Amino acid sequence: MIVVENLHKHFGGFHAVDGASLEIKAGTITGLIGPNGAGKTTLFNVIAGRLPPTSGRVLMNGEDITGLPPHELFHKGLLRTFQIAHEFSSMTVRENLMMVPADQTGESIWSSWFHRGAIREQEKALLDKADEVLDFLTIDHLRDEKAGNLSGGQKKLLELGRTMMVDARIVFLDEVGAGVNRTLLNTIGDAIVRLNKERGYTFCMIEHDMDFIKRLCDPVIVMAEGKVLAEGSADAIMANEQVIEAYLGT
């Protein structure tokens, strides 16, 4: 689904991504791991259109998507979430979900003003969709809670929910498990697996928690020093000498 070809991203003389090539197969939950500073987040930022690459290509289903801005990638079903959830804290959980499509498509408030009848219809459809998402994520009870009052893990679930408001095909998750308690981590893990199995989502996730990776991801890609060091099942990766060395070296 996604092919990254010999990608480089340099910051001045520093090669954060230094000739990374990898493939994310449709239907997988692919893990991306590696020591701090390996270039994982930079790679995500380039794929998701937040940073232009220095050189190299990103293909989605054979189409060159290198350097496309996030909103165009969004229309192709490529989304990313952030390590720090970007919720609108004074709005309710349900309102946060409803913000996604209009916000992301760049629809202006003025065009909404001129099409109020259509907007009401749209709003009803959005409400229904938001309720369906809350139900799927088993967080209906948080519907009217202000997003700012959610715990870190609940915010991560909300981020995941926002990807469900549109027809995502591939979602890049940046440390969705970081700082989340075990119970919520299980809920998040279950939601990811169900989105993958029942809705055909492909995931690529940066993660540090190896238990979480082992439970969810196959394959796992390891990055070190801006390059892909290894790829395989979680077990194979954890037994790989080069991988162990890369972690110990930091």
* CB nearer to ligand ADP: pick between 36 and 183: 36
Decide: 104 and 72 in contact? Cβ < 8 Å: no
Residue 9 or 156: the one with the smaller Cβ distance to ligand ADP is 9
Q: How many CA atoms lie within 13 A of 71 on its CB side?
A: 8
Residues of this chain that interact with ligand ADP (CB under 6 A) are 11, 14, 16, 34, 36-42
Min dist. Cβ of residue 217 to ligand ADP (A)? 16
CB of 16 vs ligand ADP, minimal distance in Å: 3
CA distance 237 to 158: 31
- State the nearest-atom distance from the C-beta of 78 to ligand ADP, in Å: 19
Least CB distance from residue 124 to ligand ADP, whole Å? 41
Judged by beta carbon, residue 11 or residue 88, the one nearer ligand ADP is: 11
Nearer to ligand ADP, 32 or 170 (CB): 32
φ/ψ of 145, rounded to 5, equals: -75, 145
CB of 174 to ligand ADP, least distance (A): 8
Q: Is 51 left (phi over 0), alpha (psi -120 to 50) or beta?
A: beta
What are the E-state strand segments in the chain? 2-11, 14-24, 29-33, 55-60, 63-64, 78-80, 170-174, 202-206, 220-224, 227-232
Distance in Å, CB of 70 to ligand ADP, minimum: 17
Q: Which residues are CB-neighbours of 173 under 8 A, at least 6 positions away?
A: 80, 81, 160, 192, 203, 204, 205, 206, 207
Q: Could you give the count of Cα atoms lying within 13 Å of 80 in the half-sphere of its Cβ?
A: 24
Minimum CB distance to ligand ADP smaller for 34 or for 177: 34
Pick between residue 37 and residue 232 the one whose CB is nearest to ligand ADP.
37
